[in-house]
């Protein structure tokens, strides 16, 4: 059984705070198909309360996290510049911790493989 797991951390760089209450969806990519695995919401620290993909469900393959930044930065009826932010990545080591942080503002974002 694999020991690895997947986590995220979302920071609202426009306001200098963790992104509290941002919805994050995880998909497994199977060929041309996206299979929805889970929806989670970030907590007061901008993290999910548990791993997005825990060790029991962890498997190598291609995945996509979709961060609902447009809803988070909500501007009423005006469309947000950034809406859903998809980040596709691969997991090739079932024993590793994969951490995919998102630094986001209403107009830009960046990510990296964290620890």
pLDDT tens digit sequence for 14-47: 999 999 999 999 999 999 999 999 999 999 999 9
Strands 33-41 vs 23-30: parallel, antiparallel or unpaired: antiparallel
Domains, the chain, ranges and CATH? 5-103 (2.60.40.180)
What six digits make up the tokens of 76? 């009423």
pLDDT at 76: 65
- With beta carbons less than 8 A apart as the criterion, state whether 49 and 65 touch: no
pLDDT at 2: 64
> pTM of the full predicted structure?
0.93
48: three-class secondary structure by DSSP: coil
The span from the CA of 102 to the CA of 29, in Å, is: 20
Parts of the chain with a pLDDT under 50: 1
Q: In Å, how far from its chain's centre is CA 32?
A: 20
The span from the CA of 97 to the CA of 68, in Å, is: 23
């Amino acid at each position: 059984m694999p020991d690895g797991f997947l986590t995220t951390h979302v920071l609202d760089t426009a306001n200098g705070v963790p992104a509290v209450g941002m919805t994050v969806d995880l998909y497994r990519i199977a060929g041309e198909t996206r299979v929805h695995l889970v929806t989670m919401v970030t907590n007061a620290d901008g993290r999910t309360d548990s791993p997005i993909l825990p060790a029991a469900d962890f498997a190598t393959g291609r995945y996509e996290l979709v961060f609902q930044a447009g809803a988070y930065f909500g501007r009423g009826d005006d469309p947000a510049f950034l809406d859903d932010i998809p980040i596709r990545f691969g997991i090739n080591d079932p024993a590793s911790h994969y951490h995919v942080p998102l630094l986001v503002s209403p107009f830009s974002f960046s990510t990296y493989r964290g620890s």
